[in-house]
Amino acid sequence: MPEDPKPDAPQPEAPKPETPKPAPPPAAAKPPAGAPPKPAAAAPKAPAVMAATPWEDDLTKQLVDAFPSRIPEFFSYLGQNFLISPPGSVPEIVDYLKRECGFDYLVDITAVHYPERPEAFDVVYILYSFSRNVRIRVKTRLMDGEPIESIVWVHPTANWLEREVFDMFGIRFANHPDLKRILMPDEWEGHPLRKDYSILKMDRRWVQENLGIESGQ
Residue 11 CA to residue 163 CA, distance in Å, equals: 93
CATH number at residue 73: 3.30.460.80
**Could you tell me if residue 202 is inside a domain?**
no
pLDDT of residue 205: 74
The answer to whether 138 and 85 are in contact (CB under 8 A) is: yes
**Could you tell me if residue 118 is inside a domain?**
yes
Give the range of the structural domain holding residue 81, as residue numbers without chain letter: 53-183
The answer to whether 32 and 38 are in contact (CB under 8 A) is: no
For the chain, which ranges sit under pLDDT 70? Answer: 1-44, 46-50, 201, 215-217
- pLDDT one-digit tens code per residue, 139-149: 999 999 999 99
**Could you tell me if residue 203 is inside a domain?**
no
**Could you tell me if residue 163 is inside a domain?**
yes
Domain count, the chain: 1
**Could you tell me if residue 82 is inside a domain?**
yes
- pLDDT one-digit tens code per residue, 75-93: 999 989 999 999 999 999 9
pLDDT of residue 36: 67
Burial 21-48 (b: 16+ CB within 10 A, else e): eeeeeeeeeeeeeeeeeeeeeeeeeeee
pLDDT of residue 26: 62
**Could you tell me if residue 59 is inside a domain?**
yes
**Could you tell me if residue 100 is inside a domain?**
yes
**Could you tell me if residue 141 is inside a domain?**
yes
